[in-house]
Structure 1
């Protein structure tokens, strides 16, 4: 138990553009930051391909993880001496906040879709497996890694601890909104973080917000809404993700077909084989993928070479608004026209959909039950946020979905070959609403 209480002789600080300083006083936290698995997060971008749209978005999951730790640390300082807060949970909260994203892979979400992996499972494996992180956590107690994994996996018995890391207003979301707004250079993500953490209170199995802080929470929710549609679901970023996904699909298909790569992608073979061990996974970062994208521009396979050139040199697909439900026949006609023009629709025609629910009230029995944000009223009672806030009520439970159709405009405008088929494609796309956006 002594290790739990070990403090550093001198506090360590990280200079941070969002929180100014990130303070580390616990020896255990300092050791976790120094592990190979946590340092790997320096080589994973927080926002994947977003740097191709907002050039400042080069920040890493390492910085975000430190930020979530710091917000959690400050909230716990506010919670001290409150009757619903157990101070013995402090170190567990801090470790869980720090490690919540440690299982993310390169270009996280595209990577997961193509190779059917799950960063939450890898996070669990890193915490419980034969890793430096596991060895550090065990210094507290042999059962401590399991508790950390349970908090991150949202199965820990103390739901108050879970809600600090994962809820509709948690340290994770608060950091990434502010951090992503800072590095993309947009103003939508701004809200009064300090005001929010100062009005947070522990209450039974959840974090609640003092009624006096309601307007700060309104700003937070509207900031989240704006960030999703202006940054996270930006159509140019999604174009880059479509191409990235097609590269990974093509490379995997070529490997499965026995294609002889000029440069055999040895670190990626476990992915292509569907036998990715934890050790294999931890060797992967975005530098590995970008190296292969760079050299695959010279591969003999025309599709792989072209897609890699597009990604590396930012020659992205164009897009139009497109509803797959009402335009099913049009999509089918486009696929046939692409084939007639010798353009493979599997790699050069893609519908991409994005949807977000900015805030939801409690709906029991749904696949993902979202616990609502509760306000702590002056008399001590609790009231669900949307019942007090007209701003939040206006967007509660309203899921917004957006569909885009992506395609290579340059292929279609070159009429030197397959002119008739390409003119048919142009006609079909014009029927849907124009020749696409940059």
Structure 2
């Protein structure tokens, strides 16, 4: 069936602090923005618990998805203006691919759950899988809008998210080591956290991007802008995304949800207001409707109610999360890892259930990697196009990027209640405090 591509009679724009204007020219894009599934993203924070550390980080998945759409639109414009296909198979840009690229960019995060990654870890959900379900299910408004283009159009858009779409240029626009998704969240997260680490030259990078048969490459004279992007991404992960306090709040949230799940499984929630919207997740019987009903606000409402719950652990963890009382942490390594069971037991002896009041949290990132066909999650490497049209992988011509290539960077931290670092009037507790302190020095667990 031929695709029905309807243009708006007049371009619509949305004001945006990162891109100034977000330009919408297709009716289907405007219709997708107005679906209930996409509007739900307004109620999910882009950075989850990071707003407890960086108070400006209140921006949503909605604004990020709009930004990814806008960057993708600019890439398509550049490709059509400078590299239009002259004949089939020439490796240049076929503008017939524009609409599927724009829709995939806009919808790439529509499957994110409440508090995003923390929720995924507890309930074993996968936002990319849910994104594809939401796009392809005939129950959703998004699917109904996409089918107005053609009956198979939802499957085409979902295949971009699944990385199975046949045109690698479209896939790499949305998902690669330098794509519209990453470029928007680095700039947007830097802006809203009030930091400068993510401020690379987007205009220059878009200018030097070019299509080729195997995907997307970058002109040789734009290599330094690409270098800057890789370094910015590295800095954002180390300074923002891996911040110990944000992770401390994430641990509290994780333990809070785990306690609620455990109480439900042992029938201890029958005498209190049942968290009905969470029951499908507790029972692992989640429909699309169940999934889409949850957002950050719904969880926060349950946490507010649980502050009056008779279970002391659930009550305390709810209070800690809503009142910003993060767990403290100390870094450990392979030499000091064997102390963790002992430290967890000291925390328990001091009056805290170690299952809910201690945790390990590892945050590592690979700033840049080269293609490895044997890897389970091989990454699309960044290709630099030489003047003669040949391609060369970025780290072979950039000393800066080479220094980061293949190096997994981050840390491992042991989390525990802040009171384990504070002397108390209680002599018995102070004995545990002193025992605990033997292994904690300058934010690290030591021998």
Task: State the TM bucket, normalised to the shorter chain.
Answer: over 0.9
Q: Does 1:303 align with 2:305?
A: no
- Cα shift at 1:86: 1.2
Q: Secondary structure at the match of 1:266?
A: coil
Q: Secondary structure at the match of 2:4?
A: helix
Residue 57 of structure 2 corresponds to which residue in structure 1? 57
8 Å CA contact 1:4, 1:28 repeated in 2: no
In 2, the alpha carbon distance for the partners of 1:179 and 1:426 equals: 44
Residue 89 of structure 2 corresponds to which residue in structure 1? none
- Structure 2 counterpart of 1:382, from 370, 391, 403: 391
In 1, the alpha carbon distance for the partners of 2:100 and 2:376 equals: 28
Q: Secondary structure at the match of 1:4?
A: coil
Q: Secondary structure at the match of 2:360?
A: strand
In 1, the alpha carbon distance for the partners of 2:154 and 2:5 equals: 17
Residue 329 of structure 2 corresponds to which residue in structure 1? 319
8 Å CA contact 1:330, 1:428 repeated in 2: no
- Structure 2 counterpart of 1:277, from 284, 287, 303: 287
- Cα shift at 1:415: 4.1
Q: Which moved more, 1:407-416 or 1:383-392?
A: 407-416
In 2, the alpha carbon distance for the partners of 1:426 and 1:245 equals: 28
In 1, the alpha carbon distance for the partners of 2:177 and 2:3 equals: 33
8 Å CA contact 2:346, 2:435 repeated in 1: no
Q: How does 1:335-414 map to 2 (within 5 A)?
A: 335-410=344-419, 413=422
Could you list the per-position Cα deviations for residues 312-343 of structure 1 after superposition, in whole angstroms to 9, with x for gaps in the alignment?
111111111122x3224311112222332231
Q: Secondary structure at the match of 1:267?
A: coil
- Cα shift at 1:425: 4.7
In 1, the alpha carbon distance for the partners of 2:443 and 2:28 equals: 56
In 2, the alpha carbon distance for the partners of 1:305 and 1:380 equals: 63
Could you list the per-position Cα deviations for residues 173-216 of structure 1 after superposition, in whole angstroms to 9, with x for gaps in the alignment?
00000000000000110011011011100000211000111111
Q: Structure 1 regions of 5+ residues with no counterpart?
A: none
8 Å CA contact 1:337, 1:421 repeated in 2: no
In 1, the alpha carbon distance for the partners of 2:65 and 2:401 equals: 28
In 2, the alpha carbon distance for the partners of 1:162 and 1:62 equals: 21
- Cα shift at 1:426: 3.5
In 2, the alpha carbon distance for the partners of 1:255 and 1:370 equals: 40
Q: Secondary structure at the match of 1:202?
A: strand
In 1, the alpha carbon distance for the partners of 2:286 and 2:433 equals: 40
- Structure 2 counterpart of 1:333, from 342, 347, 352: 342
Residue 20 of structure 2 corresponds to which residue in structure 1? 20
Residue 98 of structure 2 corresponds to which residue in structure 1? 90
- TM-score under structure 2 length normalisation: 0.94
Residue 4 of structure 2 corresponds to which residue in structure 1? 4
8 Å CA contact 2:123, 2:281 repeated in 1: yes
- TM-score under structure 1 length normalisation: 0.96
Residue 160 of structure 2 corresponds to which residue in structure 1? 151
Q: How does 1:225-264 map to 2 (within 5 A)?
A: 225-260=234-269, 262-264=272-274
8 Å CA contact 1:75, 1:197 repeated in 2: yes
Q: Secondary structure at the match of 1:24?
A: strand
> Pairwise CA RMSD of aligned residues?
1.7
Q: Does 1:35 align with 2:43?
A: no
In 1, the alpha carbon distance for the partners of 2:143 and 2:362 equals: 38
Could you list the per-position Cα deviations for residues 109-165 of structure 1 after superposition, in whole angstroms to 9, with x for gaps in the alignment?
000000011111110110011100000101111111001000011111111110010
In 1, the alpha carbon distance for the partners of 2:39 and 2:325 equals: 32
- Cα shift at 1:378: 1.1
In 2, the alpha carbon distance for the partners of 1:329 and 1:75 equals: 50
In 1, the alpha carbon distance for the partners of 2:28 and 2:114 equals: 27
Q: Secondary structure at the match of 1:403?
A: strand
8 Å CA contact 1:318, 1:436 repeated in 2: no
Q: Does 1:428 align with 2:436?
A: yes
* Residues 396 and 25 of structure 1: CA distance in aligned 2, closer, same or farther (over 3 Å): same
8 Å CA contact 1:96, 1:165 repeated in 2: yes
In 1, the alpha carbon distance for the partners of 2:107 and 2:438 equals: 48
Q: Which moved more, 1:24-33 or 1:3-12?
A: 3-12
8 Å CA contact 1:8, 1:26 repeated in 2: yes
